[in-house]
Amino acid sequence: MSRNIVIIGASGTIGSSLVNIYKKNSDNQVYAFSRGYNYHRDANLIMDDIDILDEESMQKIVKKYFTESSIDILIIATGLLHNEIIFPEKSIREISLKKFQTVFNINTFAPALIFKHFFNSISRERKSVFAAFSARVGSISDNKIGGWHSYRASKSALNMIIKNFSIEISRKYKNNIIVGLHPGTVDSKLSKPFQKNVPTEKLFSGEYSALKIVKVLDSLSIQDTGKCFDFNSLEVFP
């Protein structure tokens, strides 16, 4: 069965691994979107530039590729934990408006905008899946140690967006599933500063995490929409 697979954040460690896995199946048409990509087409892979904080950029991508073709799987493989000037807060004293705005822009607002602009391209005839990378630390009930205020809050807010959108979209698209995914702790630039606290057996390669994610997405049913899962198919939130 041929499927249209969209990976947003395709240049990241997990995103690029997902692209490589999905494109191995020649029946899949894979669309790999990321900021700074130059347009490239190769067999069943299309790569192009997208700015996840620019609605015009999203509109151009949708118009260019999905006016007549529908999406079977869309994965938002983006996220921000830290960068050159932002680091997770260990104390309330480290909170700043700029930090909260920057983290929420990437982790919450961008996925919401992507859902907004891409959901009309959902396949209506068969099961379709929209998934966004969340995080276990976004769980309110699972939070026992505090800290990482902006990151935790942004992922909690994303989980609510996922739940809200799943309810609204199900009224029109009966075969659509919207979920959050906790991809595990992956050996990447995002996790580098924190790996010393992660047991070796719990630090995974991008390929391992991506393989598990693909398995989770393939196993989902309509009853799973609005939920958040880890890469072992366990429902890990709220």
* Predicted pLDDT of residue 205: 81
* Predicted pLDDT of residue 40: 94
Q: Say if 236 falls within a structural domain.
A: no
- Please give the residue range of the domain that contains residue 123: 3-230
How do residues 66-113 score in pLDDT, each as one tens digit? 998 999 999 999 998 878 788 888 899 999 999 999 999 999 999 999
> For the chain, what is the domain count?
1
Q: Say if 88 falls within a structural domain.
A: yes
Helix (H) or strand (E) holding 62: helix 55-65
CA distance linking residue 15 with residue 155, whole number of Å? 18
CA distance linking residue 60 with residue 67, whole number of Å? 10
CA distance linking residue 47 with residue 157, whole number of Å? 30
CATH of the domain at 198: 3.40.50.720
Q: Say if 190 falls within a structural domain.
A: yes
Q: Say if 15 falls within a structural domain.
A: yes
Q: Say if 204 falls within a structural domain.
A: yes
Residues of the chain with pLDDT under 70: 186-204, 236-238
φ/ψ bin of 135: left (φ > 0), alpha (ψ from -120 to 50), beta (otherwise): beta
* Predicted pLDDT of residue 115: 96
* Predicted pLDDT of residue 168: 95
Q: Say if 154 falls within a structural domain.
A: yes
* Predicted pLDDT of residue 143: 79
Q: Say if 235 falls within a structural domain.
A: no
Q: Say if 87 falls within a structural domain.
A: yes
Q: What is the pTM of this model?
A: 0.91
Query: How distant, in Å, are the alpha carbons of 32, 47, 60, 112, 139 from that of 118?
Result: 14, 17, 11, 10, 26
Q: Give the burial class of 107: count Cβ atoms within 10 A of its Cβ; 0-12 exposed, 13-18 middle, 19 or more buried.
A: buried
**Could you tell me the two tokens for 63?**
């118009």
**Could you tell me the two tokens for 186?**
């992956």
